[in-house]
Structure 1
Amino acid sequence: MSHLKDRIKQARDYGGLTQKQLAERVGVSQPVISQLERGDNLQSVHLLKIAEVCGVDPSWLSSGSGEGPGAAVERADSAVSAAGKSPADLVRAMLATRAGKALSKEARERLLGAAEDQPASTFIPAPAAATKGEIVIPQYDIRASMGHGQVAPDYAEVVRNVIVKESYLQENGITFTSPAHLAMITGWGQSMEGTINDKDPLIVDRGVNEFAGDGIYVLTWNDHLYIKRLQMVSKDTIELISDNPKHKDREVPLDSVTIHARVLLIWNAKKA
């Protein structure tokens, strides 16, 4: 059975949260979460709130019993895919589990409302489950524009899974914050042409939400979603670079850019 400190980190990764983000939502300081993940305070009174914020089974988090992160969703996904039901049916099945009930009312309503807006045809059946040494990477139906930008949707809906050998990522020097943070999106446009071509699938790390050195990121600027190469100009300014010389680069205030993910690999074997 895993240790509590390991389950807390696993829950945080499943929720797609940094230590700082989890601390803010639980209402504690970041050092408290750090201490929990080191095993310094195994009798924390914050476990129920952590479980609620991360969307995991409180019993599993506190004792290791019950269902681990994602188990209920995987079962519901399999059942609904087999029955050919709608995205809303899938979400209702997930919300009926203990993990789903642990979510806040607002989160439950938003998830269901988003799913009800989607036609059943947007879901592509998932492939077989991953085996040891493989990672399931969900693909998101979110057109991250490489041209003039595109208004981002309020949510990104999973449409299918891609199974990748972990050794393939390692051999290509790809490091990531957590397997749970990996996702695939599709680039659209010509501004990054030469590095990312129109409609290239991209593996991104959704655990990177701050500038972490020069690289290619998925970001929102001026209420539009972009994929751009970022380079720091000063402590308050960052440059949005288009690899296609026909497109203009821009220097913008750092606080005007919201980073959603870092591009790790273009699915034409070009490292980002």
Structure 2
Amino acid sequence: MYSLAERLRWARTNAGLSQDQLGAKAGVSQSTIGNLESGTRNTARRLPQIAEVLGVNALWLAEGTGSPGVSTGSKKSYEAAIAAASDAARELIDAILQADQAGEAAQTFNLMLRLLPQDGEPIGRLNP
């Protein structure tokens, strides 16, 4: 499977979904799915959501890199990290996810950039 169109069609067929069903679950129109599968479009803002619905690796779907399968190890480590996070960290993660799901990619990215330490600033809190 060499193109996005071929990978998407393969993954959708394997998931047993119609274009309309996939579009509804991923928050895009059926015509977007159809255009991606026909090769008329070669990118979509919601490609990560499409990959999630299909249960495939988003990087594989977008670029053909890696394997189509999603690693369950990262999901488990994510859930473990969330469980161990402070209330403030969970609130921040929820805010980032809500902004991303609302299609506010620029705001999400800017929020994440503000969280990064500035040059010379230590990462994390130092315990005395």
What is the TM-score with the length of structure 2 in the denominator? 0.53
Deviations 1:129-161 (A, max 9, x none): xxxxxxxxxxxxxxxxxxxxxxxxxxxxxxxxx
**C-alpha distance in 2 between matches for 1:50 and 1:6:** 14
Please identify the structure whose Cα radius of gyration is greater: 1
**C-alpha distance in 2 between matches for 1:46 and 1:6:** 17
Matched, 1:25 2:25: yes
Question: Which amino acid letter does the alignment assign opposite residue 10 of structure 1?
Answer: W
**C-alpha distance in 2 between matches for 1:52 and 1:13:** 15
The alpha-carbon deviation at position 40 of structure 1 amounts to: 0.8
Structure 2 SS opposite 1:61:
helix
Q: What's the counterpart of residue 72 of structure 2?
A: 95
Matched, 1:41 2:24: no
Structure 1 SS opposite 2:41:
coil
Question: Which amino acid letter does the alignment assign opposite residue 72 of structure 2?
Answer: L
**C-alpha distance in 2 between matches for 1:95 and 1:43:** 26
Q: How many residues align structurally?
A: 76
Deviations 1:156-192 (A, max 9, x none): xxxxxxxxxxxxxxxxxxxxxxxxxxxxxxxxxxxxx
**C-alpha distance in 1 between matches for 2:50 and 2:38:** 16
The alpha-carbon deviation at position 46 of structure 1 amounts to: 1.6
The alpha-carbon deviation at position 14 of structure 1 amounts to: 2.3
Identical aligned residues as a percent = 39
- In the TM superposition, what are the counterparts of 1:222-241 in structure 2 within 5 Å? none
Q: What's the counterpart of residue 3 of structure 2?
A: 3
Question: Which amino acid letter does the alignment assign opposite residue 49 of structure 1?
Answer: Q
Matched, 1:64 2:41: no
**C-alpha distance in 1 between matches for 2:11 and 2:55:** 8
Deviations 1:218-257 (A, max 9, x none): xxxxxxxxxxxxxxxxxxxxxxxxxxxxxxxxxxxxxxxx
**Which is strand-richer, 1 or 2?**
1
The alpha-carbon deviation at position 68 of structure 1 amounts to: 2.1
Note the residue ranges of structure 2 that are not aligned, 5 or more in a row: 80-128
- In the TM superposition, what are the counterparts of 1:181-196 in structure 2 within 5 Å? none
Runs of 4+ in 1 over 2 A off after TM superposition: none
**C-alpha distance in 2 between matches for 1:43 and 1:24:** 18
Question: Which amino acid letter does the alignment assign opposite residue 22 of structure 1?
Answer: L
Structure 2 SS opposite 1:56:
coil
The alpha-carbon deviation at position 55 of structure 1 amounts to: 0.5
How large is the Cα RMSD of the aligned pairs? 2.0
Question: Which amino acid letter does the alignment assign opposite residue 20 of structure 1?
Answer: D
The alpha-carbon deviation at position 30 of structure 1 amounts to: 0.9
**C-alpha distance in 2 between matches for 1:67 and 1:22:** 21
Deviations 1:91-131 (A, max 9, x none): xxx632x6xx3xxx9xxxxxxxxxxxxxxxxxxxxxxxxxx
The alpha-carbon deviation at position 13 of structure 1 amounts to: 1.6
**C-alpha distance in 1 between matches for 2:30 and 2:43:** 17
Contact 2:36 2:43 in 1 (8 A): no
**C-alpha distance in 2 between matches for 1:29 and 1:45:** 12
The alpha-carbon deviation at position 47 of structure 1 amounts to: 0.9
The alpha-carbon deviation at position 10 of structure 1 amounts to: 1.2
**C-alpha distance in 1 between matches for 2:18 and 2:11:** 11
Deviations 1:64-86 (A, max 9, x none): 011124xx7xxxxxxxxxxxxxx
